[in-house]
Structure 1
Amino acid sequence: MNKIFRKNAPWFMGFGMLGLTIANQTFSGVYTFFYVDKLGVTLLMFTVAKTVYMIWDAFNDPLYGILSDRTRSRIGRRKFWMLLSAPLFIFGFVFIFSPPSGFIASGNKTVLAWWLFFGLLIYETAAGMQWVNYETVYPEVYTGDRERSKGEMFKVMGEIAGVLISSTAGISLYYNLGATGMSLIIALVYAALITVCILTLSENPAHQQQPRIRFVKSFKETLSNKPFWAFNISNLLAQTVNATLAGLLLFYGKYCLKIDGDQVTVMMGVAFAPVIFLVSFWSYLINKLGAKKAWKLSFLVYAGCLTPLLFAKTFLTGVLAAFCAGFGMAGYLITPGVMRGRIIDEDIRKYGERREGVITSIASFIRQVSPIVSAVIVLAMGLLTGYKSGDEPGPYPDLTFRLLISAVPILLLIGAYLVSTQCKGYDEEIKEPI
């Protein structure tokens, strides 16, 4: 029993990811529809508010990283910020989905757009603090490939479970209880899960005995690390694949498999649900091969597993291809976190400073470019094949989305592997705490 409820138990850390993912994915899946379709905020006003939100989202991560690294607190650096931001996270989440009834009744869309704008800033300010510190604490509390792969395994399980729950229960709550009712229940679920995670989290107090890192020096040394860039560019290319797959599955189902939305939902479930169990296999591979080899291998396996999507033509073959894609995705989801731990270990050994927050936040900033890269690729493919919209699909919509869902991602993953070969060093595992 004591082992189950011990400090830093990976399953309780997974609860944190589960809570964050349920809230974040429900938010992402509902707020656009709620404000644009339900409340009638114009697409222009919505886009302006969302653009500012995305810019703040991208640039606040490095700020939170350096603040976290420089914090000194009796309860721990990361735990301090997670506790501080949790109430604000809950407030921002409920705020966005609870505009005053008077504002709605007035029909003033500009007022509603301003409510959304301030809600997004509140929510993202807190969400950034939560995500950066949650991700940063992993390489601190878990040392060595074996511990970290186990921690990452439960984290990915929480993430996938959160995606599945939010895409079903979250949407159902919205339609049955309304936006405010949904937000209150999701906020309570998040609060319960993140509380368990925070209460069982215990940081090493020795990490706070070192002098505070300096802002400019810390970023300069991190950004001058060439293997660090190779690591992040590889992950950017692979994350672009994930963004492309998530955004185009409905198009793939419609034009390539000739199936409806419900069948696409089943296909998505088949792709994502097995990942919860498949990550344990990749955890085993990390322990056998080492973090670096497993990370590089995951790009090639992922590329190979996307090949069946190029040839699937029916619902059944699409489901089988989706399952295969899920196996490849599982490897990429778990290996980068363990590899990042090695990079952090080597950075500490080389410079004698603990800047896990800076390294994690810069990596997060680079990864957030992936939706932009994905959008550019989709636009370019549309120009090449003639696809403009559902009203003007052009002569080759099947080819357009078959290439975008399989051939292009395969090329991106091969590129990710080639870049990963430039990530020199990090072959030696540091098993003892630094």
Structure 2
Amino acid sequence: MKNKFMNSPIAYALGMFAIMIPSTAFGSFYSYYYVEKLGLGVGLATLARTIYLIWDAVNQPIFGYLSDRTRTRYGRRRPWLMSAIPLFMLTFILVFAVPEGMTGYSLFTWFLVALILYEGVATMLWVNYGALFPELFRGERLRAKASAVQQGFQIVALLIGTALTPILYDALGFGSMAVVYALAFALFMLLFLRYVREGEEARLEPPLRMKEAFRETLKNRTFWIFNIANSFAQTVNGLVSSMIPFYAKYVLHIPEAQVSILLASVFVSVIPLVAVWYVIARRLGGIRSWRLSLAIYGLSVIPLGFGFNLITGIVAGIAVGFGLAGFLVTPPVVSSQIIDEDFERTGRRREGVYTAVGGFITRSSGLISALAFWVVGMIFGYVSGDNPGPNPEGTFRVLISIVPLGLLLIAFVVSLWIRMPGRSLSGRKD
């Protein structure tokens, strides 16, 4: 039984489950916590996020390169993942354990330092976890299955990290909520590491030098187009989840206790829809199913702009779930195909560098999201929870529906530039 479970899609998905519980709570509620609860101005919050994204630009490629060059008897990725566990627990707690009495620039300083520390450790985790996927699972059919299982676990983690979080911070406070999630992260991460082992071949091959490794990556046209399109779509993931608490308060006019119900409507619906997208990916192949997911995701955010109470919000949330499920399942299949083609060309497996550089491009979506929040807030006069301006309802209708629709339209148009050779899982060419 143990050998059968080793390196299985379920074993790998445990790592996603572990990382996504605290990461979802972070992405969905840190803006709400600092801006709405603690009163940090949107301008200062945007400045802090911009600075940490510059730091992200530096640390992503470095961690990817160092990971690819690591040679130990435990593998390339596992030592990094093991080392990151206590550091991630600590930095996640720091984000939400703000000392009482902090305001203005002291609050901004704490926010900035906590973001930088958290982002550095999170990069170490995501780069090494993501780099394992194309190595453990070979072939589009197995990858589509592994991606579907992984995203099923991710959705459960998203559900916990969003729907359960308001209940926890209401009962325990934000600091204690962070401790609970940090302990859950450690438990499932250790279980994941117990049942995942890397192959021998990557340990034996000589690594590329830094200049050569990044040159080969950066001149890959398909890689750039894919990740630029994904960066706009990824912005929607973060923007919608982080805006839902504001949307619930100012648009739907529901109490905080019902935010969990609204969040659950999105993520519970995604769980069965992941299986639907697995079938679609098998029939259409990586590129076509990914492109279709972008189009459907764009249409699915439109109903959010028409919500006015809990029921209409739930209906809109279920619609978003279908588009979100497609975008969660299909990108890993495409990115793994890009890495395989690079391996055929260079003779080196460089999952770390590709995952890191791709991660930076897509995670630059955080800057797009922050700028959208700031610009729309300025237009409608929203500053913070202490000063919401004359039309906070309009602010968050635009941020949760119109802005995501525009971003996904851009992502879809960019995706049309990809021409990747290869066959779909059903035998048709992409």
TM bracket, shorter-chain basis:
0.7 to 0.9
1:62 aligns with 2:61: yes
Q: Is the deviation greater in 167-176 or in 345-354?
A: 167-176
Maintained 8 Å contact 1:342/1:430 = no
Compared CA separation, residues 2 and 301, structure 1 to 2 (3 A): same
How big is each residue's C-alpha offset from its partner over 1:80-138, in whole Å with a ceiling of 9 and x where there is no partner?
21122223323444566678xxxx69999999987776665554333221111001111
**Runs (5+) with no aligned partner, structure 1:** none
Q: Which residue of 2 aligns with 1:330?
A: 325
1:278 aligns with 2:286: no
Compared CA separation, residues 27 and 332, structure 1 to 2 (3 A): closer
How big is the shift at 1:26? 3.7
Q: Which residue of 1 aligns with 2:84?
A: 85
How big is the shift at 1:210? 1.6
How big is the shift at 1:233? 1.2
Q: Which residue of 1 aligns with 2:355?
A: 360
How big is each residue's C-alpha offset from its partner over 1:374-415, in whole Å with a ceiling of 9 and x where there is no partner?
33344445566x444564335xx6665444433442332232
How big is the shift at 1:294? 0.6
SS at 2:207 equivalent: coil
Q: Which residue of 2 aligns with 1:129?
A: 124
SS at 1:201 equivalent: coil
How big is the shift at 1:56? 2.6
**Radius of gyration: which is bigger?**
1
The match for 1:140 among 131, 135, 138 is 135
1:393 aligns with 2:409: no
1:74 aligns with 2:69: no
Question: In the aligned structure 1, how far is the partner of 2:352 from the partner of 2:196?
Answer: 17
1:318 aligns with 2:313: yes
Question: In the aligned structure 2, how far is the partner of 1:399 from the partner of 1:41?
Answer: 21
Maintained 8 Å contact 2:304/2:397 = yes
Q: State percent identity of aligned pairs.
A: 37
Maintained 8 Å contact 2:80/2:128 = yes
Maintained 8 Å contact 1:94/1:183 = yes
Q: Is the deviation greater in 339-348 or in 295-304?
A: 295-304
Normalised TM-score (structure 2) = 0.84
How big is the shift at 1:242? 2.0
Q: Which residue of 2 aligns with 1:164?
A: 159
How big is the shift at 1:338? 1.1
Q: Which residue of 2 aligns with 1:342?
A: 337
Compared CA separation, residues 69 and 47, structure 1 to 2 (3 A): same
How big is the shift at 1:264? 4.5
Compared CA separation, residues 308 and 67, structure 1 to 2 (3 A): same
The match for 1:309 among 304, 308, 321 is 304
Compared CA separation, residues 84 and 304, structure 1 to 2 (3 A): same
How big is the shift at 1:20? 1.0
Q: Which residue of 2 aligns with 1:22?
A: 21
Maintained 8 Å contact 1:61/1:361 = yes
Compared CA separation, residues 111 and 382, structure 1 to 2 (3 A): closer
How big is each residue's C-alpha offset from its partner over 1:34-78, in whole Å with a ceiling of 9 and x where there is no partner?
889999999999887766544333421111100111111111111
Q: Which residue of 1 aligns with 2:284?
A: 289
Question: In the aligned structure 1, how far is the partner of 2:20 from the partner of 2:360?
Answer: 18
How big is the shift at 1:276? 1.9
1:300 aligns with 2:295: yes
Compared CA separation, residues 350 and 200, structure 1 to 2 (3 A): same
Q: Is the deviation greater in 312-321 or in 187-196?
A: 312-321
SS at 1:273 equivalent: helix
- Describe how 1:225-304 pairs up with structure 2 within 5 A: 225-253=220-248, 256-304=251-299
How big is the shift at 1:308? 2.9
Could you tell me which amino acid in structure 2 is paired with residue 208 of structure 1? R
SS at 1:213 equivalent: coil
Question: In the aligned structure 1, how far is the partner of 2:40 from the partner of 2:300?
Answer: 41
Compared CA separation, residues 164 and 229, structure 1 to 2 (3 A): same
Maintained 8 Å contact 1:141/1:203 = yes
Maintained 8 Å contact 1:65/1:132 = yes
Q: Is the deviation greater in 158-167 or in 28-37?
A: 28-37
Compared CA separation, residues 381 and 77, structure 1 to 2 (3 A): same
SS at 1:77 equivalent: coil
Q: Is the deviation greater in 184-193 or in 137-146?
A: 184-193
Q: Is the deviation greater in 409-418 or in 213-222?
A: 409-418
Q: Which residue of 2 aligns with 1:415?
A: 410
Question: In the aligned structure 2, how far is the partner of 1:64 from the partner of 1:351?
Answer: 21
Question: In the aligned structure 2, how far is the partner of 1:34 from the partner of 1:18?
Answer: 23
How big is the shift at 1:176? 4.5
How big is the shift at 1:148? 1.3
Compared CA separation, residues 181 and 297, structure 1 to 2 (3 A): closer
The match for 1:207 among 190, 202, 205 is 202
Maintained 8 Å contact 1:257/1:315 = yes
SS at 2:77 equivalent: helix
SS at 2:205 equivalent: coil
SS at 1:76 equivalent: coil
Question: In the aligned structure 2, how far is the partner of 1:95 from the partner of 1:306?
Answer: 33
Q: Which residue of 1 aligns with 2:150?
A: 155
Could you tell me which amino acid in structure 2 is paired with residue 124 of structure 1? E
How big is each residue's C-alpha offset from its partner over 1:261-302, in whole Å with a ceiling of 9 and x where there is no partner?
444442221112211221111111111111111111111111
Maintained 8 Å contact 1:274/1:323 = yes
Could you tell me which amino acid in structure 2 is paired with residue 62 of structure 1? P
Maintained 8 Å contact 2:233/2:407 = yes
How big is each residue's C-alpha offset from its partner over 1:162-208, in whole Å with a ceiling of 9 and x where there is no partner?
22223354454455556665444333321210011111111111122
Could you tell me which amino acid in structure 2 is paired with residue 10 of structure 1? P
SS at 2:135 equivalent: helix
Question: In the aligned structure 2, how far is the partner of 1:350 from the partner of 1:429?
Answer: 21
